[in-house]
Every structure is written in C-alpha cells, then in structure tokens.
Amino acid sequence: MSYEALSYLSIDELGRKLCSREVSPVDVVDALLTRIEQYNKNLIAYLHVDGETARKAAKAAEQEISAGGYRGPMHGIPIAYKDIFHVKGLPTTANSRLMADYIADADCTVVSRLRNSGAICMGKLNTIEFASGGMDFLGNARNPWHTERHPGGSSSGSGTALAAHLVHGAMGSDTGGSIRIPASLCGIVGLKPTYGRISRSGILPLSWSLDHAGPMARTVTDVAHLLQAIAGADHNDPSAALQGVPNYTSTLTGNIRGRRIGVPKNYFFEASDPEVVEAVRIAIAVMQGLGAEVKEIELPTSVHASAASWAIAYSEAFSLHRRRFFERSREYTPAFLHKITGAALLSSDELLTALRLREKVTMEFTDALHEVDVIATPTTAYPAHSISGQAPESGTHSLTRPISLTGLPSLAMPCGFAAGGLPISMQLTGRAWEEQTILDIGFAYENATEWSHRRAPINAETKPPDHQPEASLPSEIDANWVMDFAKLTGLTFVTEDDAGGIAQSIGPQKTQLKRALEVIDIGLEPAVRPAR
C-alpha cells in the first residue's frame, strides 16, 4: 500500500492488516513520519515527534507479530498523546514556559496500558497551556479543514493530528469539553467517559473533580478499541472506579431499534447556529429511521451550568497553581493567569452555589436518562472560528460543560458540514458506566452516513463565514474591583495590567451564578461524588 493509503486507514482496518501481516508496522510509522514532515510545520499538531523510538517499537512489533505474539487490535497501532500525559523519556511541556525543561521519568497509566497492548507512541500533541490557557508559547495548532480556523481545545493537537491523518489514534483530556470540542471542530470522534472510567494517574491535572482522560479517533469503532485498552481501576488513582469493564467492540451491533433518544426542549438548540441545529435534527431523524424512538426531555438548569463548571474547575486549578502564581506569574500566558486567578475572586457563597448547581444538573440528567437511553444535542453551537478570533460561544454558554458537571459519558461525532466545509458535530450522552450504549448508537449512525469518510483538505482556500462572539452577560465588577479584591485577599502578583482581563473573565460567571440562585431549592446540598 502507498504511504498515503496507510495513513488513511482506521485503527480497525489497520489492526486487521497488521494481524494478517499484510502490512508492516514499520511501513505504517514511516508513512506517518513522512506525512508529519510534510504538514506539521504548518499545523503544529505535534510538539514533539519521537520518530526514532517509534521506528524501534515498530520493528519490535513486526518481529513479535511474525513470531505469533499478536497481542490484539492495538498491536502496532500508532498513538500520540496530548502533552499533559507523561511518557517516559519525553518532554511534558503542557505548552507552557513553566514546563519547558521537564522530562517525564515514568509513563502515566494510560500510556503504560497502551504500551502493554502493543501500541506505538509517535510523540506528544499540542495543547492549550495546562489545558486551559493559550498556545502562545509553542504555537497554535490549526484546523485541517481550514488552516485559518481554530481546532478547538484544549486537546487541540489531538483533533488536528487525527483530522490531518498524522496519527491513527490519540489521547485527550476533558474538563469542560476539551475532548469533545476539538472532536466537533475537527470532524472526528471523541469520548469523554464516565468520571472514574479511565485513570488520571500521571496526567497533569487541571481540576481534580472534573478532569476526564479519553480516547479520540476517526471512527466510533476506533474509539471503542482505544477505550478497551485503557479503561479500568488503578490503585494509583483514587478516583478510578472499581467498575467492571465490558467488551466495547463486541457490543457494537448497529441495531438501535427500540433505543430511546432524548432531545432537550431548552438551551442546547436555542442559541446554536441554524446550520448546526439543522444538521443535528437531521442526524436524530436518521437514527429514528433506523428504529430508534425520539422523545422530548427537559434539562432546564443546563442554562446555568457553564458558570458552575467554570467556578469549580478553575477554583481547583487555582489551588494547584497558587504557589507558582506567586513565584512565576509572568511565565504563564495571560489567558491562563487571568482565568484561573478570576476563580480565586469568587466568594464562598458563589462556589457553594456552583457545587449545588452541579447536584441539580446531575439530577436532571439522571432523571431524564431513566426515561431515555441517550440524550442527543449539538456538541458545539458553532463551527470552527478564526484562529485569531474569539469563539462565538461566551464563557457562560457551553453545550459541553453541563455534561462535564454530571460526570456522565458523552460521545462527540461528526454529523454534517456547514458553509465553507467546516464540520458539525452531534453529542450523545448516556448513563454512568454505559459507554457501550452511546458507542453502539453512534456506530449505527456512523454506518448509516458518510461523514467519517470525508477528508480534510488542509488548506485555507475557502472563506467560511465568521460568527460574531455572543454578547457577554452584564458584569457587576470592573478592573478597580479586581484590584481592590486582590489586595484584600493577598493576591500580590495581580497587576493593573491583569485586572481588566480578570474582570472580563470572572464578571459574567458571577452574574450567571447570581441568577442561578433563583432556581436552587434552599435544601439542595452540594454534590458529592459516589463511592468507588
């Protein structure tokens, strides 16, 4: 096969050819390295390419398979990791000056499990700084569907590398949408699993209670193969659940007759681009045509969920970064410093409101999922925005953050294209520990459509329309308030140059949290994660 053809194969297709020895893993690695050499300088999907080690691993895999030691569907498959996953001997930069010289001395659990399955590490992929800032330090990854468009974040390089066929599978992390957003904007498949399904040990944290590690690939079957290799308990991560792990690929039947699909009446479809709404509605009709039942549901508190997710995630992130903020604040990107410092200026009442909102949103999703098997929504409200512009969704309007709050599994997958050829994505959310259900429904839809067969042009010849950022919620604070509060709380690293950016970040969140108090029952207690 040609190098180009090898790069285009899915994990499932490639695995079968490697098993039968029709294809050599050495040729596969060489094909990807050739393509990376051709495209990565512009796309900046990879921050570190480990070609020499990948070739050695490919030769070892070839010998092992030839000797009858085939380990399974991931043996000889090239994988790359978001650059917050520790890979022994490789840099972990998190696209931050603060990590510029760090070399990992051990594999994280996810990397270790994929190595044991026979997967080959190609290198480390671009990310927004510490999974929540900017990409100022090592460069912005670009969207292969239009190289002047953003690939989404924070698993930006993972989305870019997959859409550009620079790797066959990738790993990302998702705190408020960081797997699903790049999956949406890059036209690939990404899974945020149930909280606790995959170990976070050895992955740089952003938010202890909201971080999820998860697989990204070009097809649902490929995501299932990746999930199979990495799911399960881990004594190194107290949040990794002791739940049993089913066989995810054997449950991909494609028969969804009688499956119940819930479609929210409110929020998720209300403020989305008309092209996005139409594509997702058509996708739901396709699933209905395959025998699924469609039922309207209500998730009213989701409208307040973005600020709750923001408050919890970034309050935890501030605790993680607090010492370095005082010691090395000017080495962070402004986007990260301002956002995370903003969370430190929340009141205890506001943070408790966010925690109580998490419980209410989780209850609404859980109750709805007693009546339906999955909930179908758009993944992002808009297609990819300009690389130099601002996302049209404001910080208080996100279609992924409500689901992040719940810890429920959610699958993002392509379901169409907007003007100018930009991908549109559908999000399928299911019950806790039932990844196999959303994968099976996604598999049926994928097989009934042709979206997963489209290939990104990797150019910027077209001119897709730009969507203007939504108007932010009104803010009751300004730069003066930020400086006064920072002095009061001892945040001496905050300067007048920072104050405006911090106010812009936190102001709308405080407004939304204040409004949310009107819908929270006085007796509602903060969310508590279930026991393992």
Catalytic residues: 82, 154, 178
Dihedral (CA of 228, 193, 426, 388) sign: negative
Amino acid at 147: T
- Residue 67 neighbours by CB under 8 Å, 6+ apart: none
- Residue 483 neighbours by CB under 8 Å, 6+ apart: 494, 496, 499
Alpha carbons 314 and 130: distance in angstroms, whole number: 12
Query: Quick one: residue 518, left, alpha or beta (phi over 0 = left, psi -120 to 50 = alpha)?
Result: alpha
Cis amide linkage into residue 158, ω under 30° from 0: no
Alpha carbons 231 and 193: distance in angstroms, whole number: 9
Place of tokens 């990992």: 104
The pair of structure tokens assigned to 155 is 């698993």
The pair of structure tokens assigned to 196 is 């606790």
Beta strands across the sheet bearing 120-125? 46-49, 120-125, 78-82, 169-174, 212-217, 189-192, 410-417, 423-430, 374-378, 260-264, 293-297
Indicate the angle between helix axes 348-371 and 305-328, nearest 10 degrees. Answer: 140
DSSP, residue by residue, 97-141: GGGTT-B-SS--HHHHHHHHTT-EEEEEE--SGGGTS--TTT---
* HSE of 343, CA atoms in CB hemisphere, 13 A: 28
